[in-house]
Structure 1
Amino acid sequence: MYPLKFKRHFVDKVWGGRAFNKILNMDVSEEKLIGESWEVSSHRNGMSIVENGDLKGKTLKELVEEYKDKLVGVGVYKKYGSKFPLLIKYLDINDRLSVQVHPNDEYALKYENEFGKSECWYIMEASSDAKLILGIKSGISKSEFVERTKVNNFDGVFNEIAVKKGDFINITPGLVHASLSGNILLCEIQQSSDTTYRIYDFNRKVDGKLRELHLEKAYDVIDFNKYPEINNERVAEYIGTTLKEKLLRCEYFNVDRLKIEKEYTDLKSENFKIYSILDGLGNLVVNGYEYPLKKGDNYLIPANLEVVITGNIELLKSWI
């Protein structure tokens, strides 16, 4: 087992932009608006394929089935079996992200035959006018909301929140969310799911047609009393010269932000972990081998590997 890097799976979106090329130096076609880059995924809609080392060419699904707990860890394999539980993406939001909501596990497993979608966003870049929709305003009942959707009248319905670089937002199932204005580049850590119920898409057309809405299912799963969790007051500590910030602990994933100067040793852990590089240059050192790190990279670190990270690097560490 060694640190695994995967080929990117790009998804064109009506709201996509050019930030992947300009900011993350990805080789993305200028002919399409790319909104998502799936970095670590075992989902059928965007399967990751190893691009480094002896396992090059194998899919993440194949690796989990072959190496089991040696890859993901005893605890994760016992809980999830051969279903890899996380999906890591970058999003380039250059136009309004549709108003949407995600189901929880119970609903998604019953109606979609996959996990629910709990996710979190780390804002890597944001224009000065960047604003999100996060939740429904207090006092708006389900019956009123249903009536509003029938006539596309959403004035005063949603919480509108300005966001900036460095914000961390936990978007749990049932929370209505969207982007409203500005440009945003973010890293998304989520359950392995691609289920989204679209509520409103600002009357945009693709190929001359309005995009599909999923109102009945959305009515079922919206939590009208759920408010956004934005973590900007973080528990932080220094480990040598490394700043470690605790961003999130939940049943689906844990997330820390690390700002490393010179060197940091990440000790062996029972389960896998994923590094998403937010900025900087450096190396992963594992068993005497070096793996280069740069902004935009993602590495899956198999269970029970000790990793030394060298250089000046800012990253998100996600694990279960």
Structure 2
Amino acid sequence: MYPLKFEKVFKEKVWGGRNFESILNIKLKSNKKIGESWEVSTHKNGISIVSSGIYKGKTLQELINQYGESIVGKKVYTKFKNKFPLLIKYLDINDKLSVQVHPNDKYALENEGEFGKSECWYVIDASKDAKLILGIKENISKEIFHKKVQKNDFSELFNEIPVKKGDFINISPGLVHASTEGSILICEIQQNSDTTYRIYDFDRVVDGKLRPLHIDKALEVINFGLKPEITEEKYRENIKINETNIQNLIRNEYFNVDKLDIKNKYSYNLKDSFSILSIIDGAGQLIYNSEIYNIKKGETYFIPANLNIEINGNLTILKSFL
């Protein structure tokens, strides 16, 4: 095993843009609006393929099938077997992201045949006017919501919250969410799922028609009392290890995420889990077994379990693991 880098899977979206190029220095081949870059995935809708080394051309799923706990870790493999639990993306939102909600595991497995979709967002960059919908207003019951939606009246239903660079948002299944104003660049860590129920698309016409809505399923999974979980950069606890500053962004059953601000040197070894490094700023070197990998903003590396990793440079990295 060695640190794995994958080919990016780009997704054209009506709300997408070109900020992957201008902010993350990710080269885009076409002039289309790119809304998503799938960085690490075994989902059928965007499978990760190794881009270098002896496993070049192999999919992540093929490696998990072949090596099992040697690549994902004993604890992870015991729980999930060959089903990889995470999906890592970048999102470039430059227009309204539709009002949507995701199901939990129980509902999704029964109705969609895949995991539910718990996810979290780290805001890499945002315009000054950036706003998100996060949750339903307190006075809105399921009955009130249904009556208004049947009349195509989506006013006064949703909480709108301004967001900024450095904010971290946990989006649990059942939490209604969307974007309404400004542009926002996000690193998304989520369960391995592509199930989304669209509630409202701002009457947007795409290819001459309205995009389909999923009101009935959405009503079954919306948690009307669920509040958004948001933390700001300046209020999070900081853990110092030598010259590296670590913030534990989240710990839950679906994913763990740390933000690392590395100055000079940082090393670690996760024995029971793989880890995924999303490099959101800076440049440096990743060293494993005397092999040096030059790394920079916009890149993502999959680190198999049990690898002793050293990172040198000045970088900001999101480390995702289980």
Q: Which category of TM-score, normalised to the shorter sequence, fits these structures? A: over 0.9
- RMSD over aligned CA atoms reads 0.8
Could you say which residue in structure 1 is the equivalent of 2:192?
A: 192
Select which of 221, 245, 248 maps to 2:247: 245
CA drift at 1:150: 1.4
**Aligned partner of residue 235 in structure 1, secondary structure:** coil
> Match of 2:226, as an amino acid?
K
Separation in 1, partners of 2:101, 2:262: 35
Residue 66 of structure 1: aligned partner: 66
Letter in 2 for 1:193: S
- Deviation larger for 152-161 or 70-79: 152-161
Please tell me whether the aligned partners of residues 268 and 307 of structure 1 are also in contact (alpha carbons under 8 angstroms): no
Give the drift of 1:62.
Answer: 0.5
Partner of 1:298: 300
Which whole-Å CA distance do the structure 2 matches of 1:222 and 1:258 have between them?
33
Aligned to 1:11: 11
Contact map agreement 1:96 1:179 (CA 8 A) in 2: yes
The residue that corresponds to 1:130 in the other structure is: 130
Q: Classify the secondary structure of the residue corresponding to 2:238.
A: strand
Contact 1:271 1:303 in 2 (8 A): yes
User: In structure 1, how many angstroms separate the alpha carbons of the residues matched to 2:30 and 2:92?
Assistant: 14
Aligned-partner residue type, residue 238 of structure 1: K
Q: Please state how far the C-alpha of 1:32 moved relative to its aligned partner.
A: 1.2
3-state secondary structure, aligned to 2:216: helix
- Counterpart CA distance in 1 for 2:204 and 2:56 is 40
Aligned residue number for residue 106 of structure 1: 106
Distance 2:260 2:294 in 1: 17
Distance 1:3 1:30 in 2: 29
Is 1:238–1:244's contact at 8 Å kept on the other side of the alignment? Answer: yes
Structure 2 letter corresponding to 1:171: I
CA distance in 2, matches of 1:15, 1:148: 25
1:76 aligns with 2:76: yes
How far apart are residue 268 of structure 1 and its match? Answer: 3.8
1:283 to 2:293 alignment: no
Counterpart mapping for 1:223-234 below 5 A:
223-232=223-232, 233-234=235-236
- Counterpart position of 2:256: 254
Shift of 1:128: 0.3
User: Do the aligned residues in 2 keep the contact of 1:242 with 1:260 (CA within 8 Å)?
Assistant: yes
1:309 to 279, 299, 311: 311
Say if 2:18 and 2:92, in contact at 8 Å, map to a contact too.
yes
Note if contact 1:282-1:312 (Cα within 8 Å) is conserved in structure 2: yes
Moved more, 22-31 or 157-166: 22-31
How much does 1:118 deviate? 0.3
**Distance of 1:237 and 1:24 partners within structure 2:** 26
Letter in 2 for 1:287: N
Q: 1:253 is matched by which residue type in structure 2?
A: F
Out of 29-38 and 66-75, give the one that drifted further: 29-38
Q: Deviations over 1:3-49 (max 9, x none)?
A: 00000000010000110111112221343111000000000000000
Hey, what's the Cα distance between the residues in 2 that align with 1:211 and 1:317? 35
SS in 2 for 1:274: strand
Give the match for residue 85 of structure 1. Answer: 85
1:267 shift after superposition: 2.7
1:264 alignment partner in structure 2: 266
Answer whether contact 2:7 2:51 (CA < 8 A) is retained: yes
How many residues end up aligned between the 2 structures?
A: 320
User: SS where residue 303 of structure 1 aligns?
Assistant: coil
Structure 1 residue ranges (4+ consecutive) displaced by more than 2 angstroms after TM superposition = none
Structure 2 Cα separation of the partners of residues 279 and 41 of structure 1: 22
1:89-140 CA-partner distances (Å, limit 9, x unpaired): 0000000000000000000000000000000000000000000000000010
Identity over aligned pairs, percent:
60
In the alignment, structure 2 segments of 5+ residues that lack a partner are: none
Is the CA contact 2:24–2:280 (under 8 Å) kept in the aligned structure 1? no
SS at match of 2:246: strand
With the length of structure 1 as denominator, give the TM-score of the two structures: 0.99
* 2:279/2:318 contact within 8 Å kept: yes
Partner of 1:94: 94
Amino acid at match of 2:82: S
Contact between 2:134 and 2:175, CA under 8 Å: does it hold in 1? yes
